Amino acid sequence: MITLLVQIEAVAILGLAIGVFNLGVWKEWHHGYLGILIFILGMLLNFWPLVLVGNIVTADDAEQHLVQDFLDDPTYQSPLHWAYGKYLWPLPWIRKLTAWLNGLFGKKS
């Protein structure tokens, strides 16, 4: 099971990298990065449900950026990105955290 989840994560990371690079948006925080961190934590704890959550989050962001790039739809939002915008973005501390994370990656506000 873990071997399959590692393979899924590798494909998701590759897709995320292609999409983010092609769109030129690597200088900002992406929820795919959070997915990678969750995946690594799951691997370190040897807890496959956490590994699976990491897979889902990474794959969701990869899918979003690949659709935006290859289907030329820059406004497309993946399901998790849509939920983030709808339910979390209205919270001021989430906007501040996002700005801080974007700054870590070099994005200018």
State pLDDT tens for residues 33-81. 999 999 999 999 999 999 999 999 999 999 999 999 889 999 999 999 9
CA atoms in the 13 A half-sphere facing the CB of 47? 11
Residue 109: pLDDT band with limits 50, 70, 90: low
Which tokens sit at 11? 């494909």
How much of the chain exceeds pLDDT 70, in percent? 97
Decide: residue 16, CB within 10 A, 0-12 exposed, 13-18 middle, 19+ buried. Answer: buried
Domain edges within the chain: 2-104
Between residues 81 and 9, which one has the greater pLDDT?
Answer: 81
From residue 74, how far is each of 11, 19, 49, 107 by CA, in Å? 22, 11, 32, 18
Which tokens sit at 30? 């992406």
pTM for the whole structure: 0.85
Q: Taking residues 12-21, what's their average pLDDT? A: 84
